[in-house]
Structure 1
């Protein structure tokens, strides 16, 4: 996590300091790799460090709380929300199937079918069925281009029968087919700092926020910047302008001359023409057409946190699959028992 200090907030910009602080903190909480349960600076401390009004900090903390990114503990302050644990469903397969298994065994004994014979029949029947329950998942992205890359990075965690559809956050702002698709999906995945927003729009609880980290390629590109270079760091959203300078410095501490701006700023061309290197956030890629030939220019791209995929996403999928199997057993139990009983009768 990069330090939050006075240089992170630029009061000369026509972007309210509260907006800058919210963008800075929401990005840090979602992408900064902060440990669960980390205590944030107190309202007074952060206000003093940044030279802004305590009321502004308090309002930002309340907004972060409403977005599900921090929790406020009475008398203690603000803390990062603990990561979603790998949940184990209440419906364990052995408990769901116990009565059915007992009934089939009893039926087999009554017909004179041995236990081994029954097992062979069940094994043969299982070969006719597809063993993996397919889950319908949706990834809610901000921009389609990076979103497609994120889907490909997440896809190895999916089963061969699972599907993942891409939906943009903007498309969810209207109650249309994209919202309906999200409501019907087994799981909707998005960025950790967008989880509460997506959940509020689709009115469902089947939303899982994942943590993303700066990609390895981005880190290497930043580390390779010339320390003498004058760097322009361009964001697409004004809200996140405060994170650009510390984001660059986190992996390029040797670079000191960094100018921050956004992709629709009036002086964008002037800023770009005065710089030796340009770094742009996802969504601001159109500025590459404005960069002078020979000037190094690359995207500050993120990637899914491998730890989140392994410890949160994969177990969550396994739990959903188990629940689907349990629900299918309940719905199809009678039909399956009827089919097996027919086979047992024929065998006797």
Structure 2
């Protein structure tokens, strides 16, 4: 069953409960380890558990559906459609190689070559210099600072000749020039929960939504908090205020005193003054300047999910390079066709 932390919905906050619930569920679907096809609570059941109107829950489910985060199955309810590295495994680019690998193994064995010898040959071949086709890649981020860091974390996946550009989502929405650049790019990367939005802005683009998880440093910082710590958890977007408390508790279950707020709240300074540690979401960096000297203050940062990078991004890049190289060899004047995202 889909996990819902009812205590994360705070009716005393000046943020509508529908907004809080939408942020909580969209975050859990995008960043949580929720398998594809997980059944969500029924509208009536969830409304009863949270003590809110069924119409409010129904509206949240509609928004999640429109964002491509859930699917509605007639007569059955709502189900998650994320977990791209778990969903439709046969449809992932890496699985397109399975039949080729099986044929290669059969061909090697027919010639008296062991599987281990074949692996050694492949490893040796992989170390030889290659002339891979360079790619044009755009990363659609939310905030430029964290976006640059994410690109650097993904850098080992790219070649030196790849052209990688960064554009904030709000800029993409306003700029026809950037939308054209994305449409013309070999690959457009973004966050999994923003994929539907980017696809709407760039319908002709080859868009791949990446799965992100809390970074190792974030986990360590949270785990190292003293159990007696009074924590202020601050988000940039009011919509995601409900996810702050369960996000902290996930890696600091020993901490019970957690106050949630947002970076433009009128009582932010007062809230910070009452706390012994400050954790702020990406984009709320200015909060660090308001924290009292000497108290722990760190960002709740995410990082690309290595499993999703291996299963989705790496084979996608390899396929794009192969297609571009084949196209350039056939006719240098014609650009390669894009892979369906």
TM range (shorter): 0.7 to 0.9
Mapping for residues 210-221 of structure 1, pairs under 5 Å: 210-221=210-221
Residue in 2 aligned with 1:288?
A: 288
Instruction: For residue 332 of structure 1, report the CA deviation from its aligned partner.
Output: 5.3
Cα distance in 1 for partners of 2:331, 2:238 equals 51
Match of 1:164, SS state, is strand
Match of 1:318, SS state, is helix
User: Quick check: 1:235–1:262 contact (8 Å CA) kept in 2?
Assistant: yes
Cα distance in 2 for partners of 1:2, 1:236 equals 26
User: Quick check: 1:5–1:50 contact (8 Å CA) kept in 2?
Assistant: no
User: Quick check: 1:231–1:257 contact (8 Å CA) kept in 2?
Assistant: yes
Residue in 2 aligned with 1:135?
A: 135
User: Quick check: 1:146–1:282 contact (8 Å CA) kept in 2?
Assistant: yes
Q: Name the stretch that deviates more: 40-49 or 280-289.
A: 40-49
User: Quick check: 1:212–1:305 contact (8 Å CA) kept in 2?
Assistant: yes
Residue in 2 aligned with 1:232?
A: 232
Residue in 1 aligned with 2:266?
A: 266
Structure 1: which 5+ residue stretches go unaligned? 95-126, 334-348
Question: CA RMSD, aligned part only?
Answer: 2.4
User: Quick check: 2:263–2:287 contact (8 Å CA) kept in 1?
Assistant: yes
Residue in 2 aligned with 1:178?
A: 178
Residue in 1 aligned with 2:119?
A: none
Residue in 1 aligned with 2:23?
A: 23
Q: Does 1:144 align with 2:150?
A: no
Instruction: For residue 43 of structure 1, report the CA deviation from its aligned partner.
Output: 1.4
Residue in 2 aligned with 1:34?
A: 34
Instruction: For residue 203 of structure 1, report the CA deviation from its aligned partner.
Output: 2.8
Cα distance in 1 for partners of 2:297, 2:175 equals 38
Structure 2: which 5+ residue stretches go unaligned? 101-127, 334-341
Q: Which structure would you say has the larger Rg?
A: 1
Q: Does 1:87 align with 2:117?
A: no
Q: Residues 19-39 of structure 1, C-alpha deviation per residue, up to 9 Å, x if partnerless?
A: 111111111111011112211
Are residues 310 and 198 of structure 1, via their aligned partners in 2, closer, same or farther at CA, if it must alter by over 3 Å? same
Q: Deviation above 4 Å: which 4+ runs of structure 1?
A: none
Q: Residues 196-225 of structure 1, C-alpha deviation per residue, up to 9 Å, x if partnerless?
A: 111111232411100100000000000011
Are residues 202 and 227 of structure 1, via their aligned partners in 2, closer, same or farther at CA, if it must alter by over 3 Å? same
TM-score with structure 1 setting the length: 0.81
TM-score with structure 2 setting the length: 0.82
Instruction: For residue 157 of structure 1, report the CA deviation from its aligned partner.
Output: 1.1
User: Quick check: 1:214–1:303 contact (8 Å CA) kept in 2?
Assistant: yes
Mapping for residues 1-348 of structure 1, pairs under 5 Å: 3-81=3-81, 83=84, 85-87=91-93, 131-331=131-331
Instruction: For residue 89 of structure 1, report the CA deviation from its aligned partner.
Output: 11
Cα distance in 2 for partners of 1:318, 1:61 equals 36
User: Quick check: 1:6–1:51 contact (8 Å CA) kept in 2?
Assistant: no
Cα distance in 2 for partners of 1:235, 1:10 equals 15
User: Quick check: 1:234–1:262 contact (8 Å CA) kept in 2?
Assistant: yes
Cα distance in 1 for partners of 2:19, 2:204 equals 28
Instruction: For residue 175 of structure 1, report the CA deviation from its aligned partner.
Output: 2.6
Q: Name the stretch that deviates more: 46-55 or 206-215.
A: 46-55
Instruction: For residue 78 of structure 1, report the CA deviation from its aligned partner.
Output: 1.3
Instruction: For residue 247 of structure 1, report the CA deviation from its aligned partner.
Output: 0.3
User: Quick check: 1:89–1:319 contact (8 Å CA) kept in 2?
Assistant: no
